[in-house]
Amino acid sequence: MHFFRYVFFLFGFLGAGAGAASAEDVQVAVAANFTAPMQAIAAAFEQDTGHKARLAFGSSGKFYAQIRNGAPFQVLLSADDETPARLEREGMAVPGTRFTYAIGRLALWSAQAGAVDARGEVLKQGGYKHVAIANPKLAPYGAAAVEVMQRLGVIEAVRPKLVQGENIAQTHQFVASGNAELGFVALSQVTRDGKLTGGSAWIVPGDLHTPIRQDAVILAAGKGNAAASALMAYLKGEKAKAVIRTYGYDI
């Protein structure tokens, strides 16, 4: 009897060890606008699969440059669809792995309640000193903000008041700290479950700018990495999609 217990214990131990050995890490470059949802998804991913996603956050443009210069990222979650497509064309991403994991929404936001009206008329009325946007050359949300202001016919009036963040996270910080009265940020940064977390905002209609399609892709360094493949599959699953919707993205 003791012998069988020992054999059962031994095989159980070896099985657990084999499971632990099969778990891998994946280095993931994540667009700054997707920080909060990706942190939640990564925690659930590790719990459900045993794999660990090690996250770095920043602007898609800077990630592109870093990947081109040999940064060891294995998966990219971009804030646009062009950067992953470009990396694929240049042989730096695994063909056939790219897909749209979220469609971003833009918001004009102020940390002050009542400062922003529901139609964004505040941009035309003036009375503010600074409007923060992400660098439009590096961040798709910044490019979308410029597009919106052009469509509204206010870009020339607002241009002298623009302050640029390196990415959408820094842009949000400019507004949250009060250094800029207004700013174009990702809707995901200022809402949870469809409700504003503070301040006041105009949710920009999607027809005022090119859709912000956010694509993910396995990079060349991630080819053959089990955790990279598992993460991409996990992002397509219902649990991850539920988190993504909670933060104000479309699927």
- Looking at residue 7, what is its pLDDT? 37
- Looking at domain 2-103+213-246, its CATH class is alpha beta
Q: Tell me: the pLDDT tens digits for 81-127?
A: 999 999 999 999 999 999 999 999 999 999 999 999 999 999 999 88
Give the span between the Cα atoms of 82 and 225, in whole angstroms. 24
Give the span between the Cα atoms of 129 and 149, in whole angstroms. 16
Amino acid code (one letter) for 21? A
Q: List per-block mean pLDDT (blocks of 10 residues) for the chain, which spans 251 residues.
A: 40 40 88 94 98 96 96 97 97 98 97 94 92 93 96 96 95 97 96 91 95 97 98 98 94 87
- Looking at residue 239, what is its pLDDT? 97
Same fold, 2-103+213-246 and 106-203: yes
| Backbone angles phi and psi of 80, in degrees to 5 | -145, 180
| Interacting residues of 124 by C-beta distance below 8 A, sequence separation 6+ | 152, 154, 157
The answer to whether the CB of 236 falls within 8 A of the CB of 99 is yes
Helices (H), the chain: 2-22, 35-49, 60-68, 82-89, 122-125, 140-152, 155-158, 168-176, 226-235, 238-246
- Looking at residue 193, what is its pLDDT? 85
Q: Tell me: the pLDDT tens digits for 1-21?
A: 443 343 333 334 334 333 444
Question: Which residue ranges make up each domain of the chain?
Answer: 2-103+213-246, 106-203
- Looking at residue 192, what is its pLDDT? 87
Q: Tell me: the pLDDT tens digits for 96-109?
A: 999 999 999 999 99
pTM of the model: 0.82
The answer to whether the CB of 105 falls within 8 A of the CB of 186 is yes
- Looking at residue 15, what is its pLDDT? 40
User: 106-203, what's its fold?
Assistant: D-Maltodextrin-Binding Protein; domain 2 (3.40.190)
